[in-house]
Amino acid sequence: MAAYRVCSSCDFWLMCLGYAMLGDQDPDGRRALRIDGVHYLSWTEEQGFPPEIGYVGGGENRYVLLDDPTGTVHVTRRLWLMGTIPDAFRDRMPDNAVFAPPT
């Protein structure tokens, strides 16, 4: 952080911006979701549970990616709430998904 002269909060959001720049998905299958200005990260079954702080619970979380013309509903049981995207980053990290209603 000192090398880039940013505070810990900005460092965290720059990391989140990195997910957006890399296509919102990492090689492990986690997907960055931005819904209503809030940043989430999904986890796969193989990865176990996300960190305890920010864990959204074991219920079914359904979402649709905004750039998916088929409107496929994705489901994850492991979702990590990373926080509300600060205004300074919002234009570079627009929403990329919406929550889908339960079936």
Q: What's the pLDDT at 45?
A: 74
pTM surpassing 0.85? no
Residues in the chain: 103
Q: What's the pLDDT at 11?
A: 76
CB of 64 closer than 8 Å to CB of 73: yes
Q: What's the pLDDT at 33?
A: 95
**Where residue 2 falls among pLDDT bands split at 50, 70, 90?**
very low
- Is pLDDT of 57 > 70? no
